Amino acid sequence: MSLPNKWAQLPAELLLIWHHHRFSVLFSAVAFAAIVRLAIYARSRRQKISNSPVPGSPVEKKDIELRPEWLPENTTLNTSCLNVDGHAEDVSSLGATVLKKKRGPKTVKGRRTAKKSPVPASCFDHNTDKIQPIIFFQSLSGITERFATDFVKIFTDWTTGCDQSRIFLQPDVYDISYIEYDDYFISPPKVEENTRLFYIILLPTYNIDTVLDNFLENLQETHNDFRIDTAPLRSLLGYSVFGFGDKEGWPTEEEGFCSQAREVDKWMAKLTGRKRAYPLGMGDTKKDAAARLQEWRVGVQEALVEIAEGRGLGDGIPGSGDPAESDEEEDLEDSNGQSKRVEEIEELGSMVDSSSTTIPVDYTTYKSKSKLLVKSTVAPKEMVPTTSPTHAALTKQGYSIIGSHSGVKICRWTKSALRGRGSCYKYSFYGIASHLCMEATPSLSCSNKCVFCWRHGTNPVGTTWRWITDAPDLIFDGITAAHYKKIKMMKGVPGVRAERFAEAMRIRHCALSLVGEPIFYPHINELLNIMHSNRISTFLVCNAQHPAQLASLVPVTQLYVSIDASNKESLRKIDRPLHRDFWERFCACLDILRNRRFEQRTVFRLTLVKGFNMAEEVRGYADLVERALPGFVEVKGVTYCGTSAAGTAGLTMQNVPFYEEVAEFVTELEKELNSRGLTYGIGAEHAHSCCVLLADKTRFMPNGKWATRIDFERFFDLYEGKVEGTRLEDGKVVGWRPEDYVGDETPEWALWGNGGFDPRDQRVWRKGKGPKADEGEKRGEVERKKMEELEF
Ligand SMILES: Cc1cc2nc3c(=O)[nH]c(=O)nc-3n(C[C@H](O)[C@H](O)[C@H](O)COP(=O)(O)O)c2cc1C
Ligand code: SF4
């Protein structure tokens, strides 16, 4: 057949083939399509599963918003690598959320004319109007709070019992630590039409940096802020201030007696347009404070009667705004009602014009005599100067202060271990022998005022680091030298075992907690690196208030977050945080802990305080565990520290839980976690410290046996790169995981139900105590023990 004929027959043959095989062809095509579809579906399901938040999943990471105001100032922390997590698949978004807010003095550009006050001065109609007294107080160690509590009671009785009682409303009372300054000191709060406000302010003085400085700065800034009236509180009916001080340390006003109360009184005079209703009162808390306060209260009440009867503040009466009295308040108004301050600014404006450059004007310092400061820089203070009462108090309590903001103290368990009488719970749980351990902090300051704090309420507090900063090597050398010195002092103590004494002369572990907040220290990462390179393991405890520092911390041997409450209200009550956004900070820290749980061992530290954070809170705590998925949850009964601060916060021996109560709580928590599919179990206990350990079984129970202990040598080998870790990213090793330095099995005697006391040590009972523990013994760490004697 010729070729053209063949071509002509081809379509007919193809048609024939198609007719013969069309069913099998169609069937195969449909089957193929179905297989492809199924494969795609199965793949997408698998991906979904790997993205789900299964506890312990090494690939899942949460996005955390780190607000600009959370970023530390004056720090060497590398904020560009915040939120590091070697496992993260979604690292992109985090860096973008971190934008450093520019802080610094306000900058004034150009010329400005005087403004007229938009706030009308208040006039009081005693026939129709009411007076709302507002009592503000500030207290760091509880003394002012105690006086304020009594004052409020007596004053309230007076407002309801006096002849003018129909005019007075029940006083409102605020702790200045917990209010938004803007709500009360930029403009008065909104009230009913016929209600007029009267401010009463009670506060102590501290010559070290405290929150009082923030308050004063705020008053000053408000007065100097161009956008607002210089006297935005002039609608108040009046105000009066009472200061508490200590003449023993500050004998005269020139030497600082009640200096901050005097400052507040001065700024309030400016902000109210001189509405001082009664002169500043001052009392020496060691001598006459009660009597002075009473006199002053009577005077304030008389002034209020005058107002209530329509006689106002009595213009011209000394102390109530007479111009003669105001000559020490610098911004006198001239006859046109124009502030001198404005002239100064105008002069400044001319300078600006002539030089064609902008000049930064710092209004933020309250220490100046309210003169504008051009290019001023405020020299930082020492956190704990050697001459300060805090230094004296801490030294008396056995702390060695290193530089001006670090401390070290030999813990009672170190002494106990040296004498073969047992180590703290960290030995039972993790294998840290107490005589090899040093307890220290690079920051004696903290941003909380916890009710159970052992700092006796006198340590500096603050929300930002603004002290003279010591170098990390100075701190390391100082704390280790002081620790060894204290160990050497144990040489002659009866019962000290020679071999333990020799071992103790080489520090192996450092518990960075003690007092204050270690991650507040701007060079914490360098300090940690020095410790690790000296093969000293690090247990670092933070209070979940500094998310940016937490996110950029180098991995430590074990990272703790104190979980003092399960919800916002409870946390506010127990930690008394200074940060107003404390809950947001707390939650961000939990998320960071979750993200970093495959870099280091992470721990929740729960301190149970009966009547504060125990009852009905198990589910709340389980929510937090579910959120952060820590490797461990340590639950410890609080120890009564018997300080005035504790007393003021209403803490007594009755708030200390019995060990059985702690154990019951932990069992409940375990049950709750398990019911949510979270694989935590009770790993160990140390009844002597009233402390129980929950741990993640999937991670720390290999081969069905608890392994909560740490292989420290392996940790250092990993740190030094002598052995390779197993933390991978994109198939490459980027570091180590907690699983890489899991140590020996938890010893039998430390397991749940066995008490947690090493049988090789000798249990020594204190006088009057014994195996039949009395109530005090069962309440964890025995009787009214001072907390500073205990481990963290
Ligand atoms: C570290 C420190 C610094 C102090 N500085 C001053 C001071 O400069 N002037 C003063 O009059 N009192 C000073 N005092 C005394 C306190 O003002 C006084 O004890 C006050 O009652 C404390 O009140 P609080 O317990 O409510 O915080 C200081 C006390 C401490 C602990
Ligand atoms: S976090 Fe620690 S040091 Fe700070 S107040 Fe609380 S207990 Fe005291």
Burial class (CB in 10 A: 0-12, 13-18, 19+), 259: middle
Q: Look at 337 and 425; give whichever has higher pLDDT.
A: 425
**Torsional class of 245: left (φ above 0), alpha (ψ -120 to 50), beta (otherwise):** beta
Round to whole Å and give the CA distance between 458 and 391: 10
The 10 Å CB-count burial string (b at 16+, else e) for 95-124 is: eeebeeeeeebeebeeeeeeeeeebeebeb
CA–centroid distance, 453 to ligand 2, in Å, is 5
CA–centroid distance, 204 to ligand 1, in Å, is 6
pLDDT at 220 over 60: yes
CA–centroid distance, 132 to ligand 2, in Å, is 36
Integer angstrom CA distances of residue 330 from 205, 269, 370, 545, 661: 22, 11, 7, 39, 61
Please write down the HEC assignment for all residues of 468-528: CCCCHHHHHHHHHHHHHHHHHCCCCCCCCCHHHHHHHCCCCEEEECCCCCHHHCCCHHHHH
Task: Please choose from 145, 205, 367 the residue to mutate so as to test ligand 1's pocket, defined by most ligand atoms within 8 A of CB.
Answer: 205
From the CB of 446, is ligand 2 less than 6 Å away? yes
Round to whole Å and give the CA distance between 516 and 498: 34
CA–centroid distance, 246 to ligand 1, in Å, is 6
The pLDDT value given to residue 472: 96
Ligand number nearest to the C-alpha of 249: 1
User: 69-78, 290-299, 433-442, 460-469: which has the minimum mean pLDDT?
Assistant: 69-78
From the CB of 455, is ligand 2 less than 6 Å away? yes
The pLDDT value given to residue 325: 35
CA–centroid distance, 717 to ligand 2, in Å, is 33
Asked if 202 and 239 touch (Cβ cutoff 8 Å), the reply is no
Extended beta strands in 367-409, E state: 373-374, 400-402, 406-409
pLDDT at 452 over 90: no
The pLDDT value given to residue 773: 41
Residue with CA at minimum distance from ligand 1 atom 8: 207
Ligand 2 atom with the smallest distance to the CA of 447 is: 4
Token duo for residue 198: 């009267």
Residue with CA at minimum distance from ligand 1 atom 31: 458
Round to whole Å and give the CA distance between 672 and 669: 5
Task: Please choose from 446, 458, 542 the residue to mutate so as to test ligand 2's pocket, defined by most ligand atoms within 8 A of CB.
Answer: 446
* Percentage of residues of the chain with pLDDT beyond 70: 74
CA–centroid distance, 141 to ligand 1, in Å, is 9
Residue with CA at minimum distance from ligand 2 atom 6: 450
Round to whole Å and give the CA distance between 788 and 792: 8
Round to whole Å and give the CA distance between 684 and 754: 9
CA–centroid distance, 245 to ligand 1, in Å, is 5
Residue with CA at minimum distance from ligand 1 atom 6: 206
Task: Please choose from 383, 405, 513, 515 the residue to mutate so as to test ligand 2's pocket, defined by most ligand atoms within 8 A of CB.
Answer: 515
From the CB of 519, is ligand 2 less than 6 Å away? no
Round to whole Å and give the CA distance between 112 and 115: 9
From the CB of 542, is ligand 2 less than 6 Å away? no
The ipTM is 0.84
Mean pLDDT of 224-243: 85
Integer angstrom CA distances of residue 173 from 162, 182, 330, 636, 786: 20, 16, 31, 34, 32
Ligand 1 atom with the smallest distance to the CA of 388 is: 1
Pocket of ligand 1 (CB under 6 A): 139-145, 204-208, 244-246, 249-250, 256-259, 285, 388-390, 458
- The amino acid present at 14, given as its one-letter code, is L
Mean pLDDT of 472-476: 97
CA–centroid distance, 398 to ligand 2, in Å, is 18
Closest to 562 (Cα-Cα) out of 723, 720, 450, 689 = 450
Residue with CA at minimum distance from ligand 2 atom 8: 453
Mean pLDDT of 21-44: 76
Token duo for residue 176: 């200045």
Closest to 244 (Cα-Cα) out of 356, 143, 361 = 143
The pLDDT value given to residue 643: 52
Residue 515 pairs in a beta bridge with: none
Q: Look at 324 and 155; give whichever has higher pLDDT.
A: 155
pLDDT in tens, 103-146: 433 333 333 334 444 445 557 788 889 999 999 999 988 899 99
| 783 three-state secondary structure | coil
Per-residue pLDDT band for 78 (boundaries 50, 70, 90) equals low
Task: Please choose from 206, 255, 287, 644 the residue to mutate so as to test ligand 1's pocket, defined by most ligand atoms within 8 A of CB.
Answer: 206
Helix axis angle for 582-595 and 618-628, nearest 10°, is 50
pLDDT in tens, 720-744: 999 999 999 888 999 999 999 999 9
CA–centroid distance, 253 to ligand 1, in Å, is 13
Asked if 54 and 60 touch (Cβ cutoff 8 Å), the reply is yes
CA–centroid distance, 460 to ligand 2, in Å, is 11
pLDDT at 52 over 60: no
Ligand 1 atom with the smallest distance to the CA of 144 is: 26
Round to whole Å and give the CA distance between 532 and 538: 8
CA–centroid distance, 239 to ligand 1, in Å, is 23
Per-residue pLDDT band for 455 (boundaries 50, 70, 90) equals low
Angle, alpha carbons 553-71-185 (nearest 5°): 140
Torsion of CA 581, 582, 584, 589, to 10 degrees: 140
Task: Write down the H helix ranges in 534-656.
Answer: 547-551, 568-575, 582-595, 618-628, 644-648
Other beta carbons within 10 Å of 49: 9
User: Could you tell me the strand order of the sheet in which 107-108 lies?
Assistant: 107-108, 359-362, 373-374
pLDDT in tens, 87-107: 333 323 333 333 333 343 333
The 10 Å CB-count burial string (b at 16+, else e) for 207-226 is: bbbbbbbbbbbbbbbbbbee
pLDDT at 251 over 80: yes
Task: Please choose from 210, 383, 517 the residue to mutate so as to test ligand 2's pocket, defined by most ligand atoms within 8 A of CB.
Answer: 517
User: 140-149, 311-320, 389-398: which has the minimum mean pLDDT?
Assistant: 311-320
Q: Look at 29 and 780; give whichever has higher pLDDT.
A: 29
47 phi, psi to nearest 5 deg: -60, -40
Round to whole Å and give the CA distance between 279 and 258: 14
Domains of the chain: 130-333 (3.40.50.360), 398-763 (3.20.20.70)
The pLDDT value given to residue 391: 86
Round to whole Å and give the CA distance between 674 and 369: 62
**Torsional class of 559: left (φ above 0), alpha (ψ -120 to 50), beta (otherwise):** beta
Closest to 447 (Cα-Cα) out of 463, 466, 469, 465 = 463
Round to whole Å and give the CA distance between 681 and 772: 29
CA–centroid distance, 466 to ligand 2, in Å, is 19
HSE at residue 129, side-chain half, CA atoms within 13 A, is: 20
CA–centroid distance, 205 to ligand 1, in Å, is 5
The pLDDT value given to residue 691: 95
pLDDT in tens, 267-278: 999 999 889 888
pLDDT at 246 over 60: yes
Closest to 744 (Cα-Cα) out of 448, 430, 434 = 430
* Number of DSSP helices (H) and strands (E) in the chain, helices first: 23, 20
Chain centroid, CA 633 distance in Å: 19
Asked if 577 and 447 touch (Cβ cutoff 8 Å), the reply is yes
The 10 Å CB-count burial string (b at 16+, else e) for 749-781 is: ebbbeeebbbeeeeeeeeeeeeeeeeebbbbbb
pLDDT at 515 over 60: yes
The pLDDT value given to residue 578: 82
pLDDT at 83 over 70: no
pLDDT in tens, 396-446: 888 999 999 999 999 889 999 999 888 999 999 999 999 999 999 999 988
Closest to 303 (Cα-Cα) out of 325, 318, 288, 284 = 318
From the CB of 515, is ligand 2 less than 6 Å away? yes
Other beta carbons within 10 Å of 484: 16
Token duo for residue 184: 């009360």
**Torsional class of 61: left (φ above 0), alpha (ψ -120 to 50), beta (otherwise):** beta
Residues whose CB is less than 8 angstroms from the CB of residue 31 and which lie 6 or more positions away in sequence, other chains included: none
The pLDDT value given to residue 141: 83
* Percentage of residues of the chain with pLDDT beyond 90: 47
Quote the pTM value: 0.61
Torsion of CA 714, 715, 716, 721, to 10 degrees: 80
Residue with CA at minimum distance from ligand 1 atom 16: 245
Ligand 1 atom with the smallest distance to the CA of 203 is: 26
Round to whole Å and give the CA distance between 211 and 213: 5
From the CB of 141, is ligand 2 less than 6 Å away? no
CA–centroid distance, 516 to ligand 1, in Å, is 19
Round to whole Å and give the CA distance between 606 and 769: 27
Ligand 2 atom with the smallest distance to the CA of 516 is: 3
Asked if 263 and 216 touch (Cβ cutoff 8 Å), the reply is yes
Closest to 472 (Cα-Cα) out of 438, 517, 521 = 521
Mean pLDDT of 469-491: 95
Round to whole Å and give the CA distance between 603 and 618: 17
From the CB of 450, is ligand 2 less than 6 Å away? yes
Ligand 1 atom with the smallest distance to the CA of 257 is: 11
Residues whose CB is less than 8 angstroms from the CB of residue 569 and which lie 6 or more positions away in sequence, other chains included: none
Token duo for residue 165: 């009682």
Per-residue pLDDT band for 648 (boundaries 50, 70, 90) equals low
pLDDT at 786 over 50: no
| 443 three-state secondary structure | coil
The pLDDT value given to residue 224: 79
Closest to 563 (Cα-Cα) out of 625, 480, 476, 481 = 625
